[in-house]
Amino acid sequence: MNAMSRHPEPTIFERIVAREIPADVVFESDRVIAIRDINPQAPVHLLVIPKTAIYRNITELGAGDPALLAEVVAVAGQLAEEHTGGEYRLVFNQGERAGQTVFHVHAHVLGSAPGTEGLAEGTLGNL
Ligand code: AMP
């Protein structure tokens, strides 16, 4: 299956990668872009996004290109070092019932600036 058959409509992240719509870009390399989330759930909320649109979720990315998944994790760690002092939460939502809304794999980097209040415990799910 090719990218066209998977994504008849480009996702919002594909359009951000193509610079068709604006975003607050905090990092970019050949294969990865990172932006600030437009609807932050924490004082620091970044999204680390592989530029390719062929992987819808982390399972597909891990199976299809483990080196790219490792790069996403490394970029997340590097950005977290800069923005949170290195203490952070890394979240991949997979599937609608887990809260995924954009079907172009991306990592959420959640945290707060050093010296400020940290993330609450027990807020990862709804129980
Ligand atoms: P998920 O729900 O895991 O698929 O995450 C999608 C995330 O993308 C949500 O946290 C949204 O707030 C965020 N988002 C959607 N559109 C944009 C946009 N144009 N710029 C930045 N973040 C966005």
* Pocket-testing residue among 11, 12, 55, ligand 1, by greatest number of atoms within 8 A of Cβ: 12
Burial class from Cβ neighbours inside 10 Å (0-12, 13-18, 19+) for residue 33 reads buried
What ligand 1 atom has the least distance to the C-alpha of 35? 21
CATH 1.25.40.10 describes domain 12-111: no
- Pocket-forming residues, ligand 1, beta carbon under 6 Å: 12, 23, 35, 37-39, 47, 93, 99-102
Distance in angstroms (rounded) separating the CA atoms of residues 43 and 109: 11
Domain coordinates of the chain in residue numbers?
Answer: 12-111
Q: Model pTM?
A: 0.94
Active site residue 106: yes
pLDDT tens digits for 11-55? 999 999 999 999 999 999 999 999 999 999 999 999 999 999 999
Place of tokens 């019932």: 97
What ligand 1 atom has the least distance to the C-alpha of 36? 21
Residues 6+ away with beta carbon under 8 Å from 53: 3, 6, 7, 10, 11, 13, 14, 17, 104
